[in-house]
Amino acid sequence: MYDIVTVGEILAEILTERTNQEFTSPGILLGPYPSGAPAIAIDQAAKMGASTAIIARVGRDDLGKLNIDRLASDGVDVSHIIQTSENTTGVAFVTYFSDGSRRFVYHFAKAACGELSPSDVDDAAVKNSRFLHIMGCSITGSPSLGASVMKALDAAVESGVKVSFDPNIRPELLSGGIMTYYRRILDACDVLLTGKGEMKHLFGDADGAVGKLLGEKDRIVVVKDGSRGTSVYTREEAFLAPTYPADEVDPTGAGDSFDGTFLALLCKGENLRTAADFGNAAGALAVAKRGPMEGNSSPSAIDAFRAKSGVAAVADIVNPYAG
Amino acid sequence: MYDIVTVGEILAEILTERTNQEFTSPGILLGPYPSGAPAIAIDQAAKMGASTAIIARVGRDDLGKLNIDRLASDGVDVSHIIQTSENTTGVAFVTYFSDGSRRFVYHFAKAACGELSPSDVDDAAVKNSRFLHIMGCSITGSPSLGASVMKALDAAVESGVKVSFDPNIRPELLSGGIMTYYRRILDACDVLLTGKGEMKHLFGDADGAVGKLLGEKDRIVVVKDGSRGTSVYTREEAFLAPTYPADEVDPTGAGDSFDGTFLALLCKGENLRTAADFGNAAGALAVAKRGPMEGNSSPSAIDAFRAKSGVAAVADIVNPYAG
């Protein structure tokens, strides 16, 4: 029995040492770092003490071992990770620019991560979980991985397993079959972990969408709005959890780390306000370290950070559902 | 009209900074470097002044641009390089150990390089060349790339284009269809650029093989034997070109650099002794720089190196063909 299971990509990440350094000429690089949004989230949930597993494919190579070792040592059940000799572990080459943008080169769709197939998804593992966590990047990453995630969704819905969803949108990829997948997951999800910009992409109007989402189903809607804080809406309450000041070194992984923390604390029976506050703190800690999973943190580290920063005052806000 | 055309893999290479540093944990890396054995050889041939082209696939990404820019700036005709959005540019992660061994993680067969298909091979480009250069690693790298190389071989043989072949053996891959490919290329080749260890793998007995190879066809057989020098055999002559003392930093690319230098000088009408001597010098320069293609060098740099090192005295040896 798991608290949280996820189905998605495991990647190795290579970073440039400097901002504005490009992959079009040789230089100093850093890595490989364990990565992949679902892997980062599930690793953080495990660090928070949740019982977790990830269903994924890696190559039978050092980059796969890098990820399996890290996930296992942080407490994730890695027995559902398939090591294949047919592909190499997926890789993301990432560089940041001083305007805040980033550029990726991905070995994804035809790497091990992208060739996870529906038959690799153990329905029993999904059905024996409290949450199935889905990230949009897994849906858009490859047709085979997308279909695998949808198989897990079906198993979850069939068994009443709660579904959490971080759309993680890349708007240019939201076409045709992908949008059908998104709609099915959005319909089913019990916890939506999204960004304000994403809400606009998905629904046009963010406030109206919250009311509509809560009208359709008794669920939790989390809207992250960067330094302006994280709003959480249910049928019963609505509040804003302010973010913590962050010493940003590497923004990748902050949202995933929030997701893992938030879901793990829900599983532990913590209230939503505590879960969101700890999620924000975990996100602030995540961006202070180079490497997408390097900034994942334990409950005690988050506690210490909150104490040092001054614990944020969570405040009630207007609930569009009530309105 | 090209002096030399090659068909094979273009890769980006990522190196660990230190010996014994593994890809199972994060660290400092160097790269990406332009790479791929056929790419290194053809780049070096272009630097020697030969008219060259490479038929290959890269991704439409920064790692592809890295390679195209380098090859083009060194004078290789890059118009036969296909940039695809279906795959990412192939990548080799390479680490060295203090016992001299190295370990690779490859994105090859399902990366752009490995999905070059026979229909991508422009027969006219091959037929309008003096040499088709083939490397064994392209044959073993992926079935599709192997079939593409064989299509080029057929075009070359049909038109009387000379074939040069560096078997570049990985013995564990020499099975079934691959061995059939190897035999066909060995039968056809006019210049065999091989190592003493490879000769044993391919033919059992190195000396006997030289006699047999020359008996079958009027060709050039080059046997590289590391620091013991490079032996060259034809029906007319046999000599040993001693190697130059090398300041080895990174052994990858030495053999490819020899091949490119040797073939380019043959095309320029230089005698075999000069070609082999310059090839050895180019190999010594190649290993003195980090990165597989970074140590490629111009004729003037090779001249200066030979003068500084003291030009090696090429000496006659026994010719097994005559015996």
DSSP B219: -
Those residues of chain B whose CB sits closer than 8 Å to some CB in chain A are 12, 14, 17, 22-33, 59, 61-63, 65-66, 69, 87-89, 91, 93, 103, 105-108, 110-111, 291, 294
Q: Do A105 and B61 touch (CB under 8 A)?
A: yes
DSSP-derived pairing of the beta strands B238-241 and B230-233: antiparallel
Q: Do B105 and A61 touch (CB under 8 A)?
A: yes
Whether residue B197 lies inside any domain: the answer is yes
Whether residue B182 lies inside any domain: the answer is yes
Whether residue B26 lies inside any domain: the answer is no
| Mean per-residue pLDDT over chain B, rounded | 95
Whether residue B96 lies inside any domain: the answer is no
What distance in Å separates residue A173's CA from the closest CA in chain B? Answer: 14
Burial of B323 (0-12, 13-18, 19+ CB in 10 A): exposed
Peptide bond into A32 cis (omega under 30): yes
Residues of A in contact with B17 (CB under 8 A): 28
Whether residue B305 lies inside any domain: the answer is yes
How many other CB atoms are found less than 10 A from the CB of residue B29? 23
What distance in Å separates residue B90's CA from the closest CA in chain A? Answer: 9
First to last CA, chain B: 39
- The predicted model gives A115-142 an average pLDDT of 96
Residue A320 CA: distances (Å) to CA of A221, A236, A273: 11, 11, 18
Q: Do B24 and A62 touch (CB under 8 A)?
A: yes
First to last CA, chain A: 39
Whether residue A26 lies inside any domain: the answer is yes
Burial of B100 (0-12, 13-18, 19+ CB in 10 A): exposed
Angle (deg, nearest 10), helices A62-73 and A37-47: 30
Q: Which pTM value belongs to this model? A: 0.94
Residues of B in contact with A91 (CB under 8 A): 91, 107
Q: Give residue B174's pLDDT.
A: 65
In the structure, what pLDDT confidence band is assigned to residue B323 with cuts at 50, 70 and 90?
low
pLDDT at A323 over 80: no
Whether residue A99 lies inside any domain: the answer is yes
Residue A235: domain span: 2-316
Q: Do A62 and B93 touch (CB under 8 A)?
A: yes
The amino acid sitting at B125 is A
pLDDT at B171 over 70: no
Burial B64-77 (b: 16+ CB within 10 A, else e): bbbbbebbeebbbb
What distance in Å separates residue B14's CA from the closest CA in chain A? Answer: 9
What distance in Å separates residue B238's CA from the closest CA in chain A? Answer: 41
In the structure, what pLDDT confidence band is assigned to residue A311 with cuts at 50, 70 and 90?
confident
Size of chain A in residues: 323
Angle (deg, nearest 10), helices B37-47 and B254-267: 40
- Determine which helix (DSSP H) or strand (DSSP E) holds B128, and give its type and residue range: none
Query: What whole-number percentage of chain B has pLDDT above 90?
Result: 87
Whether residue B252 lies inside any domain: the answer is yes
Q: Do A23 and B14 touch (CB under 8 A)?
A: no
Number of domains in chain A: 1
Residue of A nearest to B25 (CA): A66
Q: What is the ipTM of this complex?
A: 0.92
CATH of the domain at B52: 3.40.1190.20
Residue of B nearest to A30 (CA): B28
- Residue A161 phi, psi (nearest 5): -75, 135
3-state helix, strand, coil in chain B (%, to 5): 40, 25, 35
CA A197 to chain CA centroid, nearest Å = 16
Which candidate from B26, B66, B107 shows the least CB-CB separation from A91?
B107
In the structure, what pLDDT confidence band is assigned to residue B200 with cuts at 50, 70 and 90?
confident
Chain segment B1-25, per-residue pLDDT in tens: 999 999 999 999 999 999 999 999 9
